Amino acid sequence: MRYLFSILTTIIFIFPVKSQEVLKLEDVIKLALENNFDIQIAKNNEQIAKNSNNIGLVGGGQSTGGTVSGGSTGMLPQISISAGSPQNPLGIGQTITTLKYSNPASDITGQKLTSTSYAPSIVGTWYFFDGLKMFATKNKLNRAEELSNLLYRETVENTLLTALTSYFQMISIEQFIKSLKISLLLSDEQKKLADQKLQSGSGSKVDVLQTQIDYNNIRVQIVQQQNLLNEQRINLNGILKRQPDKNFSVPDTIIIETKPEYAKALSAAADNNNTILASKKSIQIDELGLKEFRANRFPKIGVTGNYSFQRTSNDIGFQRLNQNYGYNAGFIFSWTLLNNLTTNTAIKNQTVQLESDNIRLEAATMLANTNLYKSFLSFQNNLSIMEIEKQSVAMANENLHIASERFKQGASNYIEYRTVEQSYEEAQFRLSQAAYNTKVSELNYLKEQGLLVH
């Protein structure tokens, strides 16, 4: 252990690292939530659903597919102001008149008649009873906003899973690169030792050449791993909406923070899994849509009122001025008794749609529980593998130290030493991969419970 500690200390001086940003786990989460394109779009969709959830959009007379549309029926009255129409425009008009009488002296030919017309009006209408459809519509808007929140959460979960997978892959690669650098230092020592033995006559040229080949092979592995590290860094920068050449480093440790407990996870999934919750929310929305359709069977009762002012003046003629103004107010009542069975058909179709929604919920629940159990087993098994690999690395370290001392003392040849060194490299690689696989399975285990965002 003292031997390996001295090597690790030496690495600090032989492989200097430029000062750069250390990207922590909380930084990844924060940057993803703030900058990721998919999350920003999902957040805007959530805001649209929130904006649409207001009493001003409740209404629409006869429901068409359970959707929300504007109309005279709703929680707020409809108020309009008009000041003319294509048939009776406001402003100035001119009419050319030609009249023929029995007495030619009374005839009028091409006389121009100029007139002015004003007819503004204000009308207000409010149906305060529509079979309680307006309340069903408002509740449906509430459920739609909640569904958009679930879709936003799902986008956040998927994005974080992608970002954290790249992040922990970088840590795993960094761990393996460090172990390769230790092997490179050891290989360099063996290369020098083989050369010394050759100079003293106790070694062979074969060992010198083989140590150089193995030394170069380790250097190649470091470059390859560095390339993989750069790819993951670029991928993560893209997810976090940063420039691809933005350089940063990551911590050197992967920490497992969760224990695999299936009964507890199953309960959490029922309460938090986004797929299950979204399916339940869709059922609620369609149930409210059914209430909307049924409300179309009832009459509509409301109040209406208007105030109008009309003034028309002519330059000549029998009627030089015509002026009317006043208000009207009262109740209005309408009841659609027959609409070609449109309402009945819509109710039947919506009932069938609800049956399909319940089937989808059952399928979603089964799929979610299946994925949860898979992630639980994967997490549990990967934890066991990681513990075994830790033991293998500890034994590989000790074995490497023994083999190195034996080679120095001439008690073994280089081939024996190199075999032990390769075993050490493989053990380090397997441990780094086991730690990464365990962390990814933990993330999936949390995601299937709906707890990754938490």
Q: What is the pLDDT of residue 311?
A: 76
Look up the domain containing 295 and give its range. Answer: 2-59+130-299+335-449
Residue 88 lies in a domain: no
Residue 155 lies in a domain: yes
Residue 66 half-sphere exposure toward CB, CA atoms < 13 A: 25
The per-residue pLDDT for 38 is 94
Give the count of domains, the chain.
1
| CATH code assigned at 152 | 1.20.1600.10
Q: Is 380 exposed, middle or buried (0-12, 13-18, 19+ CB in 10 A)?
A: middle
Token pair 């990721």: residue: 36
Please report whether residue 310 resides in a domain. Answer: no
Instruction: Give the pLDDT score at 110.
Output: 73
In a domain, 309, yes or no: no
pLDDT of res. 74:
66
Is there a domain that residue 272 lies in?
yes
Domain annotation covers residue 90: no
**Who contacts 194 (Cβ-Cβ below 8 Å, separation ≥6)?**
203, 207, 208, 210, 211, 414
Question: Is residue 75, in this structure, part of any structural domain at all?
Answer: no
pLDDT of 9 reads 41
**What tokens does 336 get?**
């659609």
Give the closest residue to 429 by CA, choosing from 174, 116, 102.
174
pLDDT tens digits in sequence order for the chain, 454 residues long: 444 444 444 443 344 444 578 999 999 999 999 999 999 999 999 999 999 888 877 764 433 333 333 344 567 888 888 776 555 566 666 777 777 888 887 777 777 777 777 778 898 888 888 888 888 989 999 999 999 999 999 999 999 999 999 999 999 999 999 999 998 998 898 889 888 888 887 778 888 898 899 999 999 999 999 999 999 999 999 999 999 999 999 998 999 999 999 999 999 999 999 999 999 999 999 999 999 999 989 999 989 898 888 777 776 655 677 778 888 888 989 898 888 889 999 999 999 999 999 999 999 999 999 999 999 999 999 999 999 999 999 999 999 889 888 888 878 888 888 899 899 999 999 999 999 999 999 999 999 999 998 7
Neighbours of 47 (CB within 10 A): 13
